[in-house]
Structure 1
Amino acid sequence: MDPAVTWLLDSDPAIRWQVMRDLLDAPEEEWRAERSRVETEGWGTRLLALEDPDGQWAGGSFVPKDFDWSTWETAGQPWTATTYALTQLRELGLDPTTERARRAVELVGASSRWDEGDQPFWKGEVEECINGRTVADGAYFGVDVAPVVERLVADRLPDGGWNCERARGSVRSSFDSTINVLEGLLEFERATGGTAASREARASGEEFLLERGLFRRLSTGEPADPDYLRFLYPSRWAYDVLRGLDHVRAVSVRTGTAPDPRLADAVEHVRSRRLPDGTWALDRELRGQVWFTLDDGVGRPSRWVTLRALRVLRWWDRETS
C-alpha cells in the first residue's frame, strides 16, 4: 500500500472513511460503518460537544454572539459560529440520518437567524457564498433549501458564475464565490436530483472555472491570485485549485462525464507539489478563531490536502490513461 495512504488511515474516522471509499474502493457497507464513527469519535464528536442547547454554535449564525466587529481586521474572521460548524460536520461526514444530526438541524432552524437581516437560518440571506454553503449543508442534512437554490440561480452573473459583491455592484464572477455556490448546487442535486435550472446553472459555473483552467485570468492567462495555487483546509469561503479539482472530480463521478482536457495544467500543478514522502503540505490557513485545529500547521504534511490530492490524481489518471 502507498505509505501516504497508510498514513491517512492512521487518523480520524473522518479521514479514514473517505480513504476507504475514494482510494481503496472498499464496499459501501464498510466505509459507511467507518463513517458512522464520526458521530462518536474524534473531530466529529468533539465538535458536536460544543453545540449550544439551542442547537447553535457560539450563540450565533455567522459570527459568535456579542462578537466585537472591530476585531475583524486585527484578529481575523471567527470560524466558530453555526454556519461553519455545520459545514465542518458535513465535510467530516456526519451521518445526516442520525438522531443527533436531525435534532441539531431542527434546532438551528428554530433558533438561529442571520446577522445580516434576521432571516431564519435555512431561508438563507443575501450573500452568494453564504447561501451556497447553506444550500450544501441544508441539502446534505435533509432540509428543503429549494427557495435558496432558486435565489442563487437568479443571482448568477452574465459570465456564468457568482460574486458575493454582486449586490454592491460587481459584474464579474469570482472563483471564491463560484466554488461555494457550485458545491451547494451539487449537494442539492445529490439530495433531490436538482432542477433543470439548477443543473444548467451548475454547468455554467463550472464552465466559468474551466475556461480559466481553474486558476488563470481569462484576459492574460496568468494566475488570477497566487493563493489559488496554494493549498488550504478548512477552505471556509476560500478557493484554491485543489478545491476546484475536487469539485470537478465529484461531478464526474456523479454524472459519468470524462475529465475536461482544460484541467491538465491544474492537475500537473497538484502533482508537482507532492513531497518526497508522498504527502502534500498545508500551504496556508485563514486567520481567525477556531474551536480546534485539524492539521499540524502551515508547512507541515496535511492529511486533508493529501486526501484531496490523491483522489484527484487517482481519478484523473484512471480516466485519462
Structure 2
Amino acid sequence: MNDFEVISFLLEGDPSIQYQTRKYLLGETEAELSGLRQSISKSGWGRMYLDAQNEDLSFGKGFYAHKWTSTHYSLLDLRYLEIPRETESLVMSVRDITKNCRAGDGGVTGTRGSKHSDVCVNGMFLNYGAYFHMEDEPVKTIVDLLSSQVLPDGGFNCQDKSTHSSVHTTLSVLEGFLSLIRYGYTYRIEDIMRMKRTAEEFLLSHHLFRSSTTGDVMNENFIQPAYPPRWKYDILKALWYFADVGIPFDSRMEDALLIIEKLRTKDGTLLKGKTISGELHFRMEEGKAGRWNPMRAMRVLQHYARLTVNE
C-alpha cells in the first residue's frame, strides 16, 4: 500500500481512528469533524468502554484495580480515544476521584487513608482529569505536589529517594502538563512551563531511548511501540507528545524517527505491537495488523516532514 491506501485503511477503522486520522493526517477542522467525534461515544470502542462503566461511575474494581480495567486506566484510554470531553458519566467519574481518592500529600491514590501518592499516577490523572473538566482545587494540590518532585536532571520518578528520573514517569507528567495548558488551567502556569521545558530536555538528552552513560538502548521495549501504552514509555508515545505540543525537530530525535521509519512494513503500515499483559475490558485490535500504530507513526512522520499525506 502507498500512503494514500494506508489512509483509506485507517478510515475503515473504529470512529476514534477515523476521527484522529482526519484530524491529524488530513487536517480537517473540529467543525468538520463534530459529528464523527460524537459518534465515538455511540459506537465502537468508545461505546464499549462506556458500557463497561459501573453504576457508581467507576470501572473495574475501583480507582486502580485491576490493571487495565480500573477507573484510572479506563479514563486514560478514553482520553486517548478522544471521546467527547463533555461525556457526562466521565466528567462525573473524574469528580468522584477528586472527592474520594485523595492522599494526604494532595495527590490521587487508590489506597484510602494513604499519606502519599504516586507521581506517575498523578501525571496520568492530570492528563485525563483536565480533559474531562476537572475542578480547579485538585489541580492546585497536584501541581504543588509535582513541583516538589522535580529531580536535578529535570525529570520525575515515581520511586522514592530516586536521584535519576524515569522516562515513564517524566512522559506521564509531561502529558498531564500539556493537558492543563491546552484546556485553560492557569494555576502556577509559569512554573508548569518551566517544569515542562526541563522534563522535555531530560527526554531529549537521552535521544528518547538511549542511556546517558553508555549510549546503548535503555530498554528494548522502548523501541517496540505498544498500544494502548498505559503508563509505559516508548519512542512513538514520546514522539507523539513532541508532535502534539508542536516542538520542532531536534537532532536528538533523529535515531528514534529512523526506527519508526524502519518499523513500517512493506505495505506502509506498522504491526500493532505488543499487548501489555493484564486484565482488559476487551481487545481493541486482534491479530498482527492494527491501525493505531500506523496512524500514530504517520502523524509523527508527517509532523517532522518525513512524509506528506494531506496534499
TM-score (norm: length of structure 2): 0.89
Out of 102, 112, 126, the residue aligned to residue 91 of structure 2 is 102
Q: Hey, what's the Cα distance between the residues in 2 that align with 1:236 and 1:140?
A: 16
Give the superposed CA RMSD: 2.0
Q: Hey, what's the Cα distance between the residues in 1 that align with 2:192 and 2:295?
A: 29
Q: Which residue of 2 aligns with 1:74?
A: none
Segments of structure 2 that go 5 or more residues without pairing to the other structure are 103-108
Supply the AA of the counterpart residue of 2:19. Answer: W
Deviation at 1:37, TM superposition (A): 0.8
Is 2:301–2:307's contact at 8 Å kept on the other side of the alignment? Answer: no
3-state SS in 2 of match to 1:2: helix
Q: Which residue of 1 aligns with 2:121?
A: 130
Deviation at 1:126, TM superposition (A): 1.6
Map 1:194-205 onto structure 2 (within 5 A).
Answer: 194=186, 195-205=189-199
Is 1:36–1:95's contact at 8 Å kept on the other side of the alignment? Answer: yes
Map 1:134-283 onto structure 2 (within 5 A).
Answer: 134-143=125-134, 144=136, 145-165=139-159, 167=160, 169-192=161-184, 194=186, 195-252=189-246, 257-283=247-273
Q: Hey, what's the Cα distance between the residues in 2 that align with 1:218 and 1:27?
A: 41
Is 2:15–2:36's contact at 8 Å kept on the other side of the alignment? Answer: yes
Q: Which residue of 2 aligns with 1:25?
A: 27
Is 1:231–1:241's contact at 8 Å kept on the other side of the alignment? Answer: yes
Segments of structure 1 that go 5 or more residues without pairing to the other structure are 65-77
3-state SS in 1 of match to 2:46: helix
Deviation at 1:97, TM superposition (A): 1.9
Deviation at 1:125, TM superposition (A): 5.5
1:12 aligns with 2:11: no
Supply the AA of the counterpart residue of 1:116. Answer: T
The structure whose residues are more often helix, as a share, is 1
3-state SS in 2 of match to 1:317: coil
Deviation at 1:111, TM superposition (A): 5.2
Is 1:17–1:32's contact at 8 Å kept on the other side of the alignment? Answer: no
Q: Which residue of 2 aligns with 1:34?
A: 36
Percent identical pairs in the alignment equals: 33
In structure 2, the CA distance between the partners of 1:319 and 1:270, relative to structure 1 (3 Å rule), is: closer
Is 1:17–1:35's contact at 8 Å kept on the other side of the alignment? Answer: yes
Out of 258, 271, 282, the residue aligned to residue 292 of structure 1 is 282
